[in-house]
Amino acid sequence: MDEQLFFKKLNNLCTSKDIFYFISSLEVMSDTMAAGALQRISEVEMDDNGLKNPALLENEVFRALCFQFEFESSKLSNTGLLNALQALIKLRIDPQSTLMTSLLSESEERLGKGQLTTENLCSLGESLLELEGPSCVTLEQIVNHMQERDVKRWSPREIVMVYRILQVTAREGKQCQNLLNRLNSVTFYTVSQLSPNFTSVILNSLAVLHQTRAVLLVTALCKHSAKRVPYFTDHELVNVLEAFLFFGQKLQIFTEALERHVPRSILTMHPQTVSKVMHYCCKKMILSKPIFDAVAEGFISNADRLTTDQIASYIIPFGTLNYLPPSASSLFRKLEAVLHTRLRHFQPHTLLNLLHSCVLIQRYPINFLPKIFSPYFLQKLQAQPPGLNRVVMSQLTQLFLTVTLECPFYEGPKLLSKYQVKACPMPHSSPDIHLFKRVKTGLLYLLKKRIYFASEVSTPYFYVVDIEIKLDEEGLVLPAAQLEEVHRRIALCVDGQNRFCAHSHNLLGEEAIKQRHLQLLGYEVVQIPFFEIESLQNTRKMADYLHKKIFPCTHG
């Protein structure tokens, strides 16, 4: 039978029984046709759980095919040999069997003699990766042969395979940067032809291989990814998100693609993929209401099936980015129910991060704080990395301050003073230096003397005030160093872009709780957000703006 007709008929068969019947009807079959039959059997009989019907390995037609491949391996064409090897690996035939050792030794012998084409090398590399993993020394030989080939003539499949092999050999401490440079240059011009799978694999390889200089290629792949978001598998999307994080990429078109995809797919997406999406949004400070609202609904439906780490990954970004979804009441009821049944399963630091994120958005885990403040739990925190570092102790202190200021009815254990810190090292709390300088210049113009305000003032209550102004009983400004007759304290919060979600006027959770607590501690909080003052062109206009914000009663 003509090979083209053979493969056309073969690809229309959907069971191994039909394939065996079809093969039996043929008098003569080339080795590539026989290998194609094995490949088709592997496609229809394998799923995520393995071989659907193990009995097929005992089928006489299957055994006859394997017999010929085993004892006539030296007579096979390169394509027949390597396609058969791939199919048998997918069918999970014992690598130590005489069949597999015969095919492998023949493949390696031809590799050593330089008889394999680039396509053959890629096929063998793929088989070895599947069979033996990163430690396979033959992969190095394949890379050495690849070095001698003309990269410009490779197909996208061959390019992808070489990236995969290089990624694995690099983990063994062997990196071929010269080949990578050539590969990166050629790949740039093929990006538009790449399938979702190839795009994901290459981005993942570039990240693993630390190709930070391949800026043009990475940018092109990230833009291409935005068009492929609906077509990525869960695993592929995770790889893409990890690459975006590694290379510091943040594209609006990619975010918009996620906003369309996640709400449609939330109930079928793997929880680990949802966790990675939320982690990406959190790291990039992207408050996407369509994504967050969908994830909240997904949590309400699936929380009982999530691991403790996944639960934390779903919830923590809501606190970090200071957002309550429309389903907030149901979301936190579900979280409380899950915590009641599975509290002991959470790792100490995961639990602390989770509960701390809740208080940022005024969801108070009162029932669980006695555990957090208990000496036993604090010892467990100290025993596990990162231990009781300043960030962890700041979270504990902020939890304690929250129940003290916002939950006066709490009567459980208190946090011992040795676990409290006096100043808060929040990652986004430092003021924007340029903005801060402009505000201070405007205040000096308004108040005439520098003694009338103090900057970066440490309070006895954990927080640092950007600028503090003191007033007496009649509302007159006092020198900042004066301690007596202080009737009112004004805290100016100079909020640069680093204190807001990306492309948003929504304060981050850590800044929102700080301003809330300063008010409860008796300060009059005046927010000076970047978007209100960036258009003020001179010091006089800045002073007028500050006058209106700080002293509205006397303005004009």
**Which residue is it, tokens 């957090």?**
372
Span 41-52, average pLDDT: 87
pLDDT at 135: 60
CB atoms under 10 Å from CB of 29, counted, come to 17
Kindly give, in sequence order, each residue whose CB lies less than 8 Å from that of residue 477, ignoring residues fewer than 6 positions away: 447, 452, 469, 470, 471
Chain Cα centroid distance, residue 249 = 12
Which three-class secondary structure state does DSSP give residue 235? helix
pLDDT at 137: 77
Span 434-448, average pLDDT: 95
**Is residue 47 very low, low, confident or very high in pLDDT (cuts 50, 70, 90)?**
confident
Q: Is the pLDDT of residue 388 over 90?
A: yes
pLDDT at 176: 80
**Is residue 496 very low, low, confident or very high in pLDDT (cuts 50, 70, 90)?**
very high
pLDDT at 257: 97
pLDDT at 423: 76
pLDDT at 140: 82
How far apart CA 359 and CA 395 sit, in angstroms, is 10
pLDDT at 426: 62
pLDDT at 397: 94
For residue range 338-380, what is the model confidence (pLDDT) as tens digits?
Answer: 999 999 999 999 999 999 999 999 999 999 999 999 999 999 9
pLDDT at 27: 84
How far apart CA 60 and CA 67 sit, in angstroms, is 10
For residue range 112-166, what is the model confidence (pLDDT) as tens digits?
Answer: 999 999 889 988 988 988 887 656 778 888 888 888 888 888 889 889 988 988 8
Kindly give, in sequence order, each residue whose CB lies less than 8 Å from that of residue 427, ignoring residues fewer than 6 positions away: 510
How far apart CA 375 and CA 367 sit, in angstroms, is 17
Percent of the chain with pLDDT over 90: 78
Q: Is the pLDDT of residue 506 over 80?
A: yes
pLDDT at 134: 54
pLDDT at 278: 98
**CA of 158: how far to CAs of 4, 149, 161, in Å?**
23, 12, 5
How far apart CA 344 and CA 32 sit, in angstroms, is 57
**CA of 85: how far to CAs of 41, 65, 417, in Å?**
13, 12, 66
Closest by CA to 436, choosing from 503, 497, 477, 490, is 497
**Is residue 428 very low, low, confident or very high in pLDDT (cuts 50, 70, 90)?**
low
pLDDT at 132: 72
pLDDT at 554: 80
Write the DSSP assignment of 410-455 as a string of letters.
Answer: --SPPPPGGG--SB---TT-SPPHHHHHHHHHHHHHHHSSGGG-EE
Average per-residue pLDDT for the chain? 92
Percent of the chain with pLDDT over 70: 97
pLDDT at 334: 98
Span 483-490, average pLDDT: 95
pLDDT at 173: 55
Q: Is the pLDDT of residue 425 over 80?
A: no
**CA of 80: how far to CAs of 31, 33, 40, 83, 138, in Å?**
5, 8, 14, 5, 20
Which three-class secondary structure state does DSSP give residue 307? coil
Which three-class secondary structure state does DSSP give residue 187? helix
CB atoms under 10 Å from CB of 349, counted, come to 17
In the chain, the largest separation of any two C-alpha atoms, in whole Å, equals: 108
For residue range 299-308, what is the model confidence (pLDDT) as tens digits?
Answer: 999 999 999 9
**CA of 258: how far to CAs of 90, 252, 299, 314, in Å?**
33, 10, 18, 16
Query: Which is more confidently placed, 425 or 496?
Result: 496
How far apart CA 382 and CA 388 sit, in angstroms, is 5
Is pTM beyond 0.85? Reply is yes
**Is residue 174 very low, low, confident or very high in pLDDT (cuts 50, 70, 90)?**
low
**Is residue 175 very low, low, confident or very high in pLDDT (cuts 50, 70, 90)?**
low
Q: Is the pLDDT of residue 99 over 70?
A: yes
